[in-house]
Amino acid sequence: MNLFPLISYKFSQKTFRKLQRKGLSEEVIRQLSHLEEKFFETPEELQAELPETAAVRNNEKLLLRSAKGYCRLDRLIPNRSIREWVEALLFALIVATVVRTYLFAPFKIPSGSMIPTIQIGDHIFATMYTYGTEIPILGIRVFADPVKRGDIVIFPYPKNPSVDYIKRTIGLPGETLEIRNDKVFIDGKELDEPYAFFDRPKGQSDQNQSFSDGPVSNFGPVQIPEGKLFVMGDNRYNSADSRYWGFVDVDEISGKGQIIYWSHDPRESLTSGYQFSRILTLLR
Query: Which residues are annotated as catalytic?
Result: 113, 167
Rounded Cα gap, residues 149 and 63, in angstroms: 59
Rounded Cα gap, residues 250 and 226, in angstroms: 9
Looking at residue 24, its amino acid is L
Instruction: Please spell the DSSP secondary structure of 85-144, one letter per residue.
Output: HHHHHHHHHHHHHHHHHHTEEEEE--SSTTTTTS-TTEEEEEESSTT-EEETTTTEEESP
CB within 8 Å of 263: residues ≥ 6 apart: 119, 121, 122, 123, 274, 275, 276, 278, 279
Rounded Cα gap, residues 80 and 63, in angstroms: 24
Closest to 216 in 3D by CA, of 241, 237, 242: 237
The 10 Å Cβ neighbour count of residue 266 is 10
Rounded Cα gap, residues 153 and 247, in angstroms: 13
Chain centroid to Cα 18, Å, comes to: 37
| Alpha-carbon distances, residue 44 vs 9, 60, 64, 226 (angstroms) | 10, 11, 10, 58
| Alpha-carbon distances, residue 59 vs 43, 52, 159, 200 (angstroms) | 14, 12, 62, 80
Closest to 133 in 3D by CA, of 118, 145, 116, 150: 145
Residue pair 283/257 in contact (Cβ under 8 Å)? The answer is yes
